[in-house]
Structure formats: structure tokens, C-alpha cells
Structure 1
Amino acid sequence: MSKFTVNGKAQNFTGDPETPLLWYLRDIVGMTGTKFGCGRALCGACTVHVDGTAVRSCQIQVGDIDGQAVITIEGLSADGNHPVQKAWRELNVAQCGYCQTGQIMQAASLLKDTPKPTDQQILDAMSGNICRCGTYPRIRDAIKRASGKA
């Protein structure tokens, strides 16, 4: 059995420990904000935080997160007003929106570790998150705004 938390709520999972965290979150817990993209950790759509670190939930198995804390987009802010979420809305970052929860989770992790990132640090941190609509300039600008640099 794996015991961990998701957005502060205790979880006890007795199923297959090789179940990807992504499918646990979406199919068992019902938190569909975390998206399936490629299934190979190449696109970033499934990004969540595990013990404060951005990870691709399609490649993390539930059996590997015993005792850890998982935060999804639903748990990033109780009222949806995390600085990154606010900046995203203010700058109308999303176009189709599919990748945006992963983008937001990656950006929040970046700002936690690097509160005032340079353009290069933003580029490096966000390079594993793909946006098919090409909203990269707005993503960068929103990260700067959330950091207080814009």
C-alpha cells in the first residue's frame, strides 16, 4: 500500500504500485486538471509537484511516492489566485489551454526555486513544456509578471 497526500488530503492506494501517478490522479481521484499529453514525459502537460519539485506524472509510479506530498493544479491555490495563475489570466496566456496547467505548474516550481528568473532561466526551466499554439512569449511575460519583474 502507498500512503501519500494529494493537495493536502491523505491517500491510501492499495492497487498496482506501477500505476502512473497521472492515471491515479485523473481516474481514481477525479482530478482532471492534470492532462495526458504524450505519455513519455516529453511535453509537460502532466506536470505536478511531488514534495515541491515539478515532475511529469505520466512517468512517476504511485508506488514511488510513498510518504510524499503531491500538489496538482487544483491544489496550487485554493481560490485560483497563485501569482502565476493571476499573471496567466491578466496576460491572456492560454489559447487552446490544453498545456496550460502543466505550464503553470512548471512556472510555479521555477519561481519557488528562482524568485526573480532571467529570460534564460525561464527558457531553460520551461523548455520541457510544449505549447502547440506557440504562446511562449506570453508564457515568459506571465512568469516575469508573477515574479514582479514585469
Structure 2
Amino acid sequence: FFSAIPPIREKLQTLYDVGLGYIKLGQPATELSGGEAQRIKLARELAKRQTGRTLYLLDEPTTGLHPEDVRKLLNVLHRLVDAGNTVIVIEHNLDVIKTADWIIDLGPEGGERGGEIVAEGPPEKIAEVPHSYTGQFLRQILALEPVR
């Protein structure tokens, strides 16, 4: 519908790129989940001219996303890093964790029984740490799939 109006088309494309292609124009912000709101902010950032010197901090941005939309979001995050930006993601989704350059695995449990650094390093190194729950799951997933 907006293909003939490049500024609008480009802004809508960024929403699609971060996995929000299903959002309706005019949808109230109060109906958005926290993850959707984060991705709208990310889309707004993507629409700006990139400096390659921005720090992005995302808290579980894949919550509620279909696996295909997770893939789209990962493509965007990797594009940001490739442009020289820094992206820090707090996440439990193994599809995101396995593509990280560096992981800081906190634990050993949650809440008061956590908060300690259990392991840190690239996914392959975390997978070698026997007392890391994240490492145990990464071992399984990395054995089945090649790492990015």
C-alpha cells in the first residue's frame, strides 16, 4: 500500500525486520507486550542514520515471538553488530544464546540462589562447563547444528 512512498515503506520495513510484521497500524501502545515495545524502539533506532557507536540493551526481546520472527530479530541484531554497534541481550532463548559472541552465564540457580558468574565466554566454551545449566543445553544444541 505504501510502496510508492519510500519514507513510510522504509519505516514499515523496519517493523517487519524486527519481527513485528503482524502489528496493525494505529494499534494502541497499551496493547503491546514488553518485548513488542522493545522491538518498536529497536525499529525506530534502525530507521535512524547509524553511527556504529551505539550500545543496545535488550531484555528478553524474543518473548512471545514465533521462531521465524526470532530469526528475523537475530538478523537485525547481527546487522547492528556488523555495523560496529554493541548489543547486549538478556535472554533465555537458546536460538539467541547460541549465536552470541560472548555469554555471561549467571547462576547457579535463580533469585537468591543465583547471581554468581557460572561461566563466561563464547557458546562453545560455555558448553564445556559441566556445572552450567546453559552449557548443558548448549552442548545438545551445538552438537546438532553448526555454530554461526
TM-score, normalised with respect to structure 2: 0.29
Query: Which one has the largest radius of gyration?
Result: 2
- Higher RCO structure, 1 or 2 (CA under 8 Å, sep 6+): 1
